[in-house]
Structure formats: structure tokens, C-alpha cells
Copies of this chain bind each other. A is one copy, B any other.
Amino acid sequence: MTDTVAAKPASLIGQRIAKMDAPEKASGRTRYIHDISLPGQLHAAILRAGRVHARIVRIDVSRARALPGVHAVITAADVPGQRPIGVAKDHLPLKRDRVRSVRDEVAAVAAETEAIAQQALALIEVEYEDLPVLADAEAALDPGAPLVHPPVEGAPAGAPTGIAGRADNIAMRFDYTHGDVAQGEAESDVVVEDSFSLHYVTHCCMGVSGVIAEFDARANLLLYSNTQVPFLHKREFAEILGMDPGRIRIIQPPIGGGFGSKLDIYPFEVICVFLARATGRPVKLVYSREEEFIASPTRQPVRLTLRSGCTRDGRLTFRQVHTLHDNGAYTSWGATTPFVMMQTFSSLYRVPHCDYHTVAVYTNNPYAGSFRGYGNLQATFAVEAHMDRMAQAIGMDPLEFRRRNAQVAGEVSGQGMVFRSCGFQECLDTAAGRSDFQRKHREYAAQRDAGGPVKRGVGMASMLHVGGGAKIYPSDGCGTILKLDDFGHVTLMTGASEIGQGSETVLAQLVCEELGLPISAVTVVNNDTDITPWDVGVHASRTTFIAGNSALGAARKAKAKILAGAAARFECQADDLDLTGGRIVRKATGQTLSDLPRFLRSLHFSDRAELVMTSFYYEPPSVHQDKEFKGDVSAAYAWGTQVVEVEVDTDTGNVRLLKVTAAHDVGRVLNRLGIEGQVEGGIVMGQGYALTENLIVDEGKIRNPNYRDYKLVTAPEIPEMDIAFIESMDGEGPKGAKGVGEAPAICMAAAIAAAIENATGVRITSLPFTPERVYRALHGALPPTPPAPRVPA
């Protein structure tokens, strides 16, 4: 026991902390799934239809099977009990007698090398009979439209769509309402209506999709998978494979980016398991980049009509929305984006009356998955366009109009979301103030008709998103196991996966803050379902909030255990002690009683014989939505406002993004470096969505499956950014923090549209703002808004 009084080290909260995996990644040493090579491992490849819609007449795999080095060639005929996968269970991994989209899986090979597998694919002969292609969502509603999943004769009653088929092309529909839109309209001084058309983009993760499947000698299944939801997948895979879920173990290698595309199970994963079962060997399947473009899910394309109203004094009165979604040939999470869009329609700003009607239809197009923001980019694009239009209609400054309708803490939205912490007003004021929005907005509008062809504009948009998880599954919780060794080194076993968002660093930070240790004292274990406790997965911007509270709970228990031991040893109250700087100190005086590692050894190597091991499960106090889709689905909500400044070349239609000023209500900044990275990345993703990215789907075929023709934003195009964080100190969030993972991508397209309008006077309601589209719009070759989608009664 020493008497030293050392200076209390600064809190880790809010510091700029490098991501724990950064050194490995920056030095090229991270071992992705590509780098894993198991003894005896085979390589798989998938034969895809290439046809958009066709009947499979005949498949001959005999020549492929005869190729030396080939261990298995399988088609649907080799897997008689196949069960449909996906959100609506409408998707057989290996297609039986019909292909419905260009990426459809017809056969698969496992071979000694990738080259042999590809060679074998080329030896498979498939005879097709083409069927009429359904490539348009509205046409899918025609009574005489080709059916993508026609009813299957003799299918058992109650069989899933993938087996039974259906009599129309409707994949999903629902209606939402709060208040009385007719009343809202009656109270309106202004009513505006526009239609919007949102396009296909795709995730472009640097790490392509991949999986390794292996059965051990006891028939347990081990999957190395890039999934974002390992615990949900245990159950999903088990159902699909007819296995006990307890016998499936999922290990996640470091994931080369995940933005939602890794939330669903895809045919390639199940096929890989089939091949592992057929060969008795570990089988690895990794997409090529072209395959990643063709066969991984997109952001959900949507056409929507929005009617909005307000009073003369700038009070929103109602919103009425119809959306028509192109579901593609199968149903993945894209089909559920309306549930998130609904939150924006119903609750971004005070909306007293709201109706929302949505339909998703099957076509022969690619299908959409979840994607950062999850429908909210699309919804916000429309809602914020109307905020501007209405402000114009009543002659009000767009900031002022928004301020009058933006909620404050304590409000409950029409959909039942309870806004306990809320920094919306501060977001608006901060983004506007730091960007000098109001002055510029006035001046640029005034300069519109003067000067040369290059115009400047500023635009503003705001967003609302869940910030404390989203209670969609039976639990929205996360478990943590914490273990300290004899040297003060902490192992944090968390159910929450690291997919590049920096969660392991934030979780380590929260634990270290509690235990008074440096961040280097932690190993985070977060990639093995057999070791880590359950978590619902990485989605809904929930990890910092949910897993953070879980880690904090376990750390608090560990701290209590240590301080109880110390209180006994040093004959004082645990409450009088604290952990800081790797030491046990007296709170009142800062006097050091022991350094922590030494004390841990003395706890362990004494009559107490204690190891510090704790566990904690955190379940947020949110609730499931009721049957009317109402309820406080998240433990906290996040807001943000972004102001963008653009330069539009009216001669070429080229839009340059000059600057983004972003203000996000994040509850509290935990890792300043990490959160800045999240916001910067989101801004650039939103920029790409607005300006450059466009997955060209032409009669069901993808025309630009490569980085030459699919234009990602690259470094020189990244704008200046001014990022501000509004710290609303959420009462439930870990140290006050809320989720922000998806937020920064959400308003960019809306803000850019506004800025283009500010620069040119033209509001474009279709994405993306490619030079061609902007040029046509400026020169009258595009209608002001696309036609309203036809929606069935």
C-alpha cells in the first residue's frame, strides 16, 4: 500500500481514440475471409441463370462432374428437401424449374481450386425456355401481368410462397394512419403534392460476400460468415437445414464493411452448406466483384407520392403518402423498408394527421435488402422537399419553417415515439448557424439569374431515426461477459459484432472508463456465437446504445466486485473508493491504495480466491409496435440536420458538392474520432446516393456491374465537412450516448436537391442527380416531378 496521490487521468469519454483494429487494417494484416484457408478446403462456384425469366427445361451436369478436381456438382434435383429462405420464405437457394432473375442460382460446384470450379461451371449445360419479362413495378399490378411466383399445382395448403406461389404479384402491403387526414387537409392553407422516384444503388462493401461452411465429425455446422446478425442466423440456418440451432456455430472473420447487406441469408450461403454436406469437406465460396454487383441486394427502389399541408403561419397539418416498391423477384429486407419510411412520414416534425399506404410487387428485377438508413433516405428525400415547397408557398424562411415544426424533448409523436432526449432544434440552429445558411440561401437565390453558367446553392434537410435500438425481434438486447486477468487485462465478450463501425473500440472505451484502465487493456471478443452472449445483430444504429449499456452493466458489476474486495482489505466503504489510472484510490483524497493488477492478484491468490468475471444482459425499455404500428419502438431517437453547398454547372448539368455542415444529436460523443468517421462516411455515402451511384437495371439485367461503370464517390470529390455534435445527454444511453450509425447518410440527397433548387430554381424529384438528369431538368426535358405511381385500391 502506497500513499502516492497521482493526478486523475482524463476521462476517456469524448476523446479521439483510434479504432482498435486500425493498426491491423492499416498495415494490411487483417485476415478477412479471403485469407482463411482450412485444411482440405474446397472452393465453390455458382452457375447463375443469366436469363431474366425462364423455365428450366434441362440441366446436364455430367461433364462438370467428370472434370478432375471436382468434388460435387449440385442442382435443385440433388437437394430434394430444399426449404425456401428469406424474409418472406419465397426463395429456394437452388432454383427448381424456373428462374426469376438474372442472378438466380441454377447449379453449384465444389472443387479443389477456384479455377477448376469455374471450369466446371462452363461444362454445365442448361436448356431454358424464356418467359415474358416483368421489369416494371406498375406493370406488375396489371391484371394480365406475368406472374413471378405463379401458383404451384398441388402445393400443400399453407406452404410458403417459395413452394406454393401466389395468384398475383403483390409481395407486401399495409396501411398506416394516425389522426384524420381529411381534417388535416381541411385545416390547411397550403397543400402540395409531388411524386418522387428513387433508384437502385448497391452496397459496394470493400469485402465481397463470402462464407466457409464445414461440418465437424460430430455433424455440428461451423460457418465462417460475414453476417451482421450471427445469433439470428443460427436459428434461420437451422430452420432451413432442419438442424438443431444449438449445433450451429457462426464465426465472423473481420468484415470488409457491412451496411445492411449482411442481415439476410442468401442462396450462396445455403448452397455452400449443401456442398459441405455433400463433400464432407470445408467449402469456401467468395464472390467476385461482378457477382457482388449482380447477386447482392440493393437499396430498395421506390416511387412515391406525397401530399402535405400546412397553415399560413407555418404549422404542418397533414401528410398523405403512397409508395410503390419494386420488390424484385424475391423478398429480402428491402420489402420492410416502408416500416422505417413510415417513421419519417409520421414523425419527422410534428405531423398531426398522417396516412401511409404502401405496396411492394414482385418483378424480375434484382431484390433489395436492408441498407444504411433503411428507407429513410427515400422518405426524407420526399418529406424535406415538401418542407421547402411549403415554406416557399407561405413565404417563410426554410429554417424558420422547420424550427416551428421540429419537436422538443418530452413530445410524443403521432406514431407513439416518445422523445425523451431531443436536440432537433439545436441541430437546425447549429447547422444553419455554422453554415451561414439563411444569408447564403437568400443571396444564392437572388444571384440565380445573374452571372455565368455556374451557380451556387445551399440546401438543408433534417432527419429522424431510431437512436436506441428498435424493438423488432422478441428481444432487442445484448449480452456481455467480462473477465479480468491477473494483470488488469480485460476480455470483453460481447454479442455485438464489429462490422467496421468501430463498436469494439467504443465498447472497450466504456469498460475502461468504468474500470479506470487504458484502452490498450482490453481484448474484445465479438465474433463467435459459441463464446459471446446473444445479441440481435448490427442494425438500426443500435450497437453503441444497446451493446454499450450491456458492456457498461458488466463493467459496473466488475467494478463493484473489485471495490468490495478493496473495501474489505483496506477497511473502508466501497463507496469511498474508485478505480482510476489503473489504480484503486480513495475518492476523497485521490490517495492510491493499490495498483489494480497487483490488487487483482491479491484477490485471486488469497483466501478470497476471487477472479473478476461478470456478465450482463441489457434489454432496452422500448416496446413492440402495436397492430396499428404504433408504440415507442426505440429507447431513444436521433436527429440531425445537414446543410450542403453545391455548385451547379448549368451548361453541363454537373453538380459539385462543396461543403457539408452537419449537426447530429448523438446524445453524447463517446469516441470523437470514431463518430467523426461515421458521420464522414455517411455523408459520402449519401453524396454517392444523390450524385453518382446508379445501379442500371435494364429489363432485369444489370448493365454496370463494376467500379468503372458504377460510380462511387472517390477521394477528390469528397467535400469540405464541418461536423457538430449536439449532446442531448440521453438518460438511458450509455454515458448519455445515442446511435448515429445510419443518420449521416439520410439527409444528403434531400439537402442536395434543395441546394440545386436554391442554385437553379429547379427542384428535381428523381435520383440520382447525374449531369444528364440535371441538364435535362434545367432545360425542361424532364417533367418537374415523375408521374405518380399507380397504387391498387
Residues of A within 8 A of B (CB): 20, 23-24, 26-27, 29, 31, 35, 37-40, 216-218, 234-235, 238, 244-247, 249, 474-475, 477, 479, 481, 483, 485-489, 491, 493, 520-521, 523, 525, 529-531, 533-534, 597, 601, 604-605, 609-611, 613-615, 617, 619
Give which listed residue, B27, B489, B605, B617, contacts A611 with CB less than 8 A: B617
Assembly CA distance A481 to B26 (angstroms): 34
CA distance A530 to B482 in the complex (A): 11
Cα distance A534–B530 when bound, in Å? Answer: 19
Cα distance A35–B485 in the bound complex, in angstroms: 29
Q: Which of B474, B475, B531, B615 is within 8 Å of A615, CB to CB?
A: B615
A534 — nearest CB in chain B belongs to which residue? B611
In the complex with contacts A244-B487, A619-B609, A523-B35 CB distance below 8 A: no
Q: Which of B218, B234, B481, B487 contacts A481 (CB 8 A)?
A: B481
CB-based contact B217/A605 at 8 Å? no
Q: Other than A23-B217, A247-B489, A609-B617, give 4 A-B pairs with Cβ distance below 8 A.
A: A24-B216, A29-B217, A35-B39, A244-B489
Partner of A29, one of B216, B489, B534, B611: B216
A408 to nearest B CB, angstroms? Answer: 31
27 sample A-B contacts, Cβ–Cβ < 8 Å, listed by A number = A23-B218, A24-B217, A26-B217, A29-B40, A29-B217, A234-B487, A245-B486, A245-B489, A246-B487, A246-B488, A246-B489, A246-B597, A247-B489, A247-B520, A249-B523, A475-B605, A475-B609, A477-B604, A483-B615, A486-B534, A493-B531, A525-B530, A534-B611, A609-B617, A613-B615, A613-B617, A614-B615
Given the complex, which residues of B lie within 8 Å of A29, measured CB to CB?
40, 216-217
Look across to chain B and name the residue whose beta carbon is closest to the beta carbon of A554.
B613
Chain B residues positioned under 8 Å from A604 (CB to CB): 474-475, 477, 534
| Complex alpha-carbon distance, A156 and B62, angstroms | 78
Q: A29-B216, A217-B23, A520-B218 are in contact. Are A613 and B489 (CB under 8 A)?
A: no
Q: What chain B residues lie within 8 Å of A35 (beta carbons)?
A: 39
- Nearest-CB distance from A298 to chain B (Å)? 32
List of B residues within 8 angstroms of A37 by Cβ: 37
Kindly list chain B residues whose C-beta atoms are within 8 Å of the C-beta of A523: 249, 530
Q: CB-CB < 8 A to A611: which residues of B?
A: 479, 533-534, 615, 617
Contacts of A486 in B (CB 8 A): 235, 245, 534
What is the CB-to-nearest-CB distance from A484 to chain B, in angstroms, rounded to a whole number? 9
Give the Cβ gap from A29 to chain B, nearest Cβ, in Å. Answer: 6
Shortest beta-carbon distance from A625 to chain B in Å: 16
**Which residue of A39, A247, A479, A614 has the most chain B CB atoms within 10 A of its CB atom?**
A39
Interface centre among A238, A483, A601 (most CB of B within 10 A): A483
Residues of B near A216 (CB, < 8 A) are: 23-24, 29
User: A26 — nearest CB in chain B belongs to which residue?
Assistant: B217
**Which chain B residue has the least Cβ–Cβ distance from A485?**
B246
- Please give the distance in Å from A647's CB to the nearest CB on chain B: 41
Give, as a whole number of angstroms, the nearest-CB distance from A224 to chain B: 14
A218 to B24, CA, bound (A): 8
Q: Find chain B residues with CB under 8 A from A474 CB.
A: 601, 604-605
A-B complex: 6 closest residue pairs judged by Cβ atoms: A246-B489, A23-B217, A609-B619, A474-B605, A246-B487, A613-B615
One complex includes copies of this chain to the number of 2
| Beta-carbon contact of A27 and B493 below 8 Å | no
Query: Are A245 and B487 in touch, CB under 8 angstroms?
Result: yes
How far, in Å, is A432 (CB) from chain B's closest CB? 41
CB nearest to A488 among chain B residues: B246
Q: Is there contact, CB below 8 Å, between A31 and B26?
A: no
Asked if A483 and B533 sit within 8 Å, CB to CB, the answer is yes
The residues of B that contact A246 with a CB separation of less than 8 Å are 485, 487-489, 521, 597
- Cβ-defined contact, B605 with A479, below 8 A: no
A495 to chain B, nearest CB (A): 9
Contacts of A479 in B (CB 8 A): 611, 613
Residues from chain B with a CB closer than 8 A to the CB of A481 are 481, 483, 613, 615
**Which of B217, B249, B488, B610 is A617 in contact with, Cβ under 8 Å?**
B610
Compute how far the CA of A533 lies from the CA of B486 in the bound complex, rounded to whole angstroms: 10
Nearest Cβ on chain B to A529's Cβ, whole angstroms: 8
Q: Which residue of B lies closest to A532 (CB)?
A: B483
In the complex, what distance in Å separates the CA atom of A34 from the CA atom of B120? 32
Q: How far is the CB of A54 from chain B (nearest CB, A)?
A: 40
Contact in complex: A533, B619 (CB < 8 Å): no
Assembled-state Cα–Cα distance A601/B619 (Å): 14
**Cα–Cα, bound, A610→B619 (Å):** 9
A562 CB, min distance to chain B CBs, angstroms: 14
| In the bound complex, CA of A31 to CA of B481 (Å) | 28
- Min CB–CB distance A426 → chain B (angstroms): 33
Residue of B nearest to A474 (CB): B605
Residues in B with CB closer than 8 Å to A617 are 609-611, 613
User: Is B531 in contact with A525, judged by CB distance below 8 angstroms?
Assistant: yes
How far apart are the CA atoms of A247 and B38 in the complex, in Å? 27
Give Cα A475 to B486, complex, Å.
12
Q: Which residues of B contact A529 (CB under 8 A)?
A: 485
User: Shortest beta-carbon distance, A33 to chain B, in Å?
Assistant: 12
> CA separation between A597 and B474, bound complex, in Å?
15
Which residues of chain B come closer than 8 Å to A530, judged between CB atoms? 491, 523, 525
B531 touches A485 (CB 8 A): no
Interface centre among A35, A529, A609 (most CB of B within 10 A): A609
Q: Could you tell me the distance in whole angstroms from the C-beta of A126 to the nearest C-beta in chain B?
A: 35
| Docked pose: A40 CA to B619 CA in angstroms | 42
Chain B nearest CB: distance from A738 CB in Å? 20
**Which residues of B sit under 8 angstroms from A483, Cβ to Cβ?**
481, 531, 533, 615
Per the bound structure, the CA–CA distance linking A484 and B216 in Å amounts to: 21
Question: Does B477 lie within 8 Å of A609, measured CB to CB?
Answer: yes
Neighbouring B residues of A597 by C-beta, 8 Å: 246
Inter-chain CA distance A613–B554, complex, in Å, is 12
A313 to chain B, nearest CB (A): 45
Q: Cα distance A245–B484 when bound, in Å?
A: 12
CB distance from A707 to the nearest CB of B (A): 25
**What residue in chain B is nearest A282 (Cβ atoms)?**
B29
Whole-angstrom distance between the alpha carbons of A249 and B216 in the complex?
Answer: 26
Q: What residues on B are CB-neighbors of A235 within 8 Å?
A: 486-487
Q: How far is the CA of A217 from the CA of B29 in the complex (A)?
A: 8
CA distance A377 to B158 in the complex (A): 71
Please report the C-alpha to C-alpha distance between residue A6 and residue B35 in the assembled complex, in whole angstroms: 50
> Cα distance A481–B533 when bound, in Å?
11
Instruction: Tell me the smallest distance from the CB of A234 to a CB of chain B, in Å.
Output: 8
> Known contacts A245-B487, A531-B531, A604-B534: does B39 contact A31 (CB below 8 Å)?
yes
State the Cβ distance, A619 to closest chain B Cβ, in Å: 3
Question: Which residues on the B side are within 8 Å of A39 (C-beta)?
Answer: 31, 35
A487: B residues at CB distance < 8 A: 234-235, 238, 244-246
Distance A29 CA – B276 CA, assembled complex (angstroms): 14
Residues of B within 8 A of A615 (CB): 481, 483, 611, 613-615
Which residue of B has the minimal Cβ distance to A604? B475
Q: Roughly how many angstroms separate A137 CA and B216 CA in the complex, as a whole number?
A: 51
Cα separation A474 to B611 with both chains bound (whole Å): 13
C-alpha gap A523/B248 in the complex (Å) = 11
**Bound-state Cα–Cα, A483 to B554, Å:** 15
A525 to B244, CA, bound (A): 20
Chain B residues with CB below 8 A from A31, complex form: 38-39
Complex CA distance for A238 and B609, rounded to whole angstroms: 23
